[in-house]
């Protein structure tokens, strides 16, 4: 990428706040994001119930915004916005264990055997970490970094 003039002398991608067209990414990077990275992240948001995985995914999105600026969200901002809203409203899969499109009454009741505790509650009590609080922090950090990279272009999503 350095030979194509995409990286500066410090081996960092130079981007400017504002529209994605102002800091275009190389076509290969856009293709990688659109065909591999984002579909994988969206699958995580749709199906993963491990809150630590969601935390890391949000951190990764934040790091992408920091490193590559507004162009990194050019083809997926609506979808990312959807997940941000779900996380803020505590309606995402990791917070409810209800898949999108399922109603609460569609789920079967599962009876626990005597003496068995829910593994997730036990694990959360053991580590003493409130993962919902961390997810909220990671989500608001992501909003901040997206707003920083998009500038006034963030207004319609806000």
Contact 93, 43 (CB under 8 A): no
Strand partners, 7: 13
Q: How far is CA 148 from CA 15, 17, 108, in A?
A: 11, 7, 44
Domain residue spans in the chain? 24-100+129-158
Confidence class for position 7, pLDDT limits 50, 70, 90? low
Average pLDDT, stretch 117-127?
52
Residues 6+ apart with CB under 8 A from 95: 51, 87, 132, 135
H-helix segments, the chain: 27-32, 38-47, 51-68, 77-88, 93-96, 119-127, 131-150
pLDDT for the residue numbered 23: 85
pLDDT tens across 17-43, in order? Answer: 999 888 899 999 999 999 999 999 999
pLDDT for the residue numbered 149: 93
Q: Does pLDDT of 129 surpass 90?
A: no
pLDDT tens across 60-113, in order? Answer: 999 999 999 999 998 999 999 999 999 999 999 998 888 766 655 444 433 444
């Amino acid at each position: 990428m350095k030979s194509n003039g995409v990286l500066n002398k410090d081996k960092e991608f130079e981007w400017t706040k504002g529209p994605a067209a102002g800091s275009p990414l190389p076509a290969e990077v856009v293709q990688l994001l659109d065909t591999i990275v984002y579909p994988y992240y969206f699958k995580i948001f749709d199906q993963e119930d491990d809150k630590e995985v969601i935390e890391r995914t949000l951190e990764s999105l934040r790091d992408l915004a920091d490193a590559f600026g507004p162009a990194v969200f050019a083809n997926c901002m609506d979808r990312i916005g959807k997940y941000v809203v779900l996380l803020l409203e505590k309606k995402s899969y990791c917070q409810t264990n209800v898949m999108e499109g399922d109603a609460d009454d569609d789920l079967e009741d599962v009876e626990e055997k005597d003496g068995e505790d829910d593994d997730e509650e036990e694990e959360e009590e053991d580590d003493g970490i409130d993962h919902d609080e961390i997810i909220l922090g990671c989500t608001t950090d992501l909003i901040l970094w997206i707003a920083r990279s998009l500038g006034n272009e963030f207004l319609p999503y806000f």
